[in-house]
Every structure is written in C-alpha cells, then in structure tokens.
Amino acid sequence: MKNTDFNGILPKGSIVALITPFDAYNNVDYKKLNQLIEWHINEGSDGIVILGTTGESPTISEKDKEEIVSFTAEKVNNRIFLIAGSGSNDTSHAVCLSKKYQDYCDALLVITPYYNKTNTQGMIKHFLTVADAVNKPIIMYNVPSRTGCNIEYEACEQLKQHKNICAIKEASGNISYSSKIATLLDDSFCMYSGNDDIVVPMLSLGAIGVISVWANLTPRVCANLVRDYFKGDTQKALKIQLKYLNLINLLFKETNPIPVKAALNYLGVNVGQCRLPLYQISDTAAKPLFDEIDRLKIEVIL
C-alpha cells in the first residue's frame, strides 16, 4: 500500500526522480520502464516522479508524455505514490498538462517558469492559476540553477495558503534559503529535499523526504537513509549520506541525467542514451563515476 504519512496526502521518504529509458532508436522503452517501476517498488522507494528533469521531459513529445503517464499509472496500480511533472514556462500549457495528468497520478510536480523569467507577482499568479485548475496536490519545484529564477519567500508564504499547493521540492542548494522556507512548514505544507548531497541537513530542517536522482542507482539505500532518520537514528542516516557523498557529487559532474543514465548503462541496465541536446558522458566524468560505482560494489538486478 502507498505510504502517505504527511497528513494523508503526500509520502514521507525517498521518491525517485525516474529516468526515461530509450531503446536503440531513441524511442521510449516501455518494457524497460516497467522493469524499473517494479524494481523501485520492490526496493522500497516511497514514490516515483515521472517526466521531471531526470526524465528528460523537455525532449519528450506531448503524445509520448501522455502515454508514459497512463502506462506508469497502469503498472503502478496504486502500489506506490505517483507524481507527474506537469510544469511549463507557459502557464496555460502547464494548466493543460496538469488537467490531463491529474486523472492518473497522486500529485503534480510543477516547476517555476523558466527562460521567460517572471517577477514575484507573476510567479504567484502562475502557480495559483495551475492550482485553481486541478484537484490534486501540487508540489512546487524550485531549482534556480536550471531555471534562472527562484520562488521568493514572500511568494511561497502566499502560495502555501492554496488548498492544492501542499509542498515544495527545494533544490536551490542554499541552506540559508531552505531554512527560511522551513519556517513556513506546517500540517498542510511540507518540503522535500531536491538535492541528494544534503538530504540529512534538509531533514533536520523539517523536510519529509527527498526527490532523488541518486535513488535511480541505490533506491533501497536512499530509502533507508530517510527511514533511519525518522526512526531517530540520525547518526546512521548521516553515515549513509557521507558514504555515498562522492557518488552523489559525481552524478552531477555533468548535466543531469547524463551521468545517472551512463551509470545505469555501466551497470548493465541498458536504459539508452539521452536525447539531444544532452549527449553521452565525457571520458573525464565517466571514469571517476564508474570507479566509484565499483568501489561501492553497486549492483542493479531488475
């Protein structure tokens, strides 16, 4: 059964930001996608995000996105929490995607407007317009390193008042900013770490879990980190964080999801290459990543 520990709405724990597997012809590999879904359920992930940054959503057609959402929902069959990325830098398009996907998933991940960066009032209006159009929980996605904009504290303070805006995926990497956002957390608004390298610090600020790239490789380890923390064994959680810190850093040596897909292919999972403009990993980034995988004795058996 799905774990919905946060007020019966969103799950505590480790939620994998799932890669999208492609075949040799760069088409979505649904057989592999099904294997990955089953593996994550069996390995103890608390949720799956599809069509996020790690899922290469910018290069997936609308038709394929809808098929991925419906396929994943069918295979998940309510056994694990399912979140679909439905954001856009076109608010009306984000509304359209969100309305389509809400029938299949448990929550929506909506990114800040990117490229055509807005002001604070535009940011507020963007999220409220999407939230007004749906009846599912929305997780706002703050990742200024990729979007060039940030959800200001004052905007977040207003947005959390909407009944459908239930969380923020905080991926700024700025602990000072995260600490300020933490003052807004309550029974109706929660925070997820969006950075694998600071999961324990984010949990200490009140985050209820992580939406993780790293979990694509070691889902059970990542899930155990969060569970150990919430069981009160913070030292054990910290030990896991530090043990895998070098691997985590290497997963972001080049633009995500280039390294994580390369890692999965190195482990024999055969998830295909990234779609252009993302390209195959460079030799200088690949060697230390693969060496660290070998050092940690990571295996993936689907």
The two structure tokens encoding residue 196: 């694998």
Domains and CATH numbers, the chain: 13-242 (3.20.20.70)
Whether residue 257 is preceded by a cis peptide bond, meaning omega within 30 degrees of 0, is: yes
Cα gap 102→268, rounded to integer Å = 34
Residue 9: per-residue pLDDT:
83
| Residue that has been written with the tokens 């905080």 in this structure | 170
List pLDDT tens digits, range 127-145: 999 999 999 999 999 999 9
Catalytic positions: 141, 169
Cα gap 118→154, rounded to integer Å = 15
The two structure tokens encoding residue 269: 């999972």
**Taking Cα atoms as reference points, which of 242, 219, 218, 238 lies closest to residue 228?**
238
**Per-residue pLDDT in tens (0 to 9) along the chain, 302 residues:** 566 666 668 999 999 999 999 999 999 999 999 999 999 999 999 999 999 999 999 999 999 999 999 999 999 999 999 999 999 999 999 999 999 999 999 999 999 999 998 999 999 999 999 999 999 999 999 999 999 999 999 999 999 999 999 999 999 999 999 999 999 999 999 999 999 999 999 999 999 999 999 999 999 999 999 999 999 999 999 999 999 999 999 999 999 999 999 999 999 999 999 999 999 999 999 999 999 999 999 999 99
Residue 237: per-residue pLDDT:
98
Please give, one letter per residue, the 3-state secondary structure of 246-277. Answer: HHHHHCCCCCCCHHHHHHHHHCCCCCCCCCCC
Residue 8: per-residue pLDDT:
67
According to DSSP, residue 186 is labeled: B
Strand partners, 47: 15, 81
Cα gap 57→16, rounded to integer Å = 15
Residue pair 285/261 in contact (Cβ under 8 Å)? The answer is no
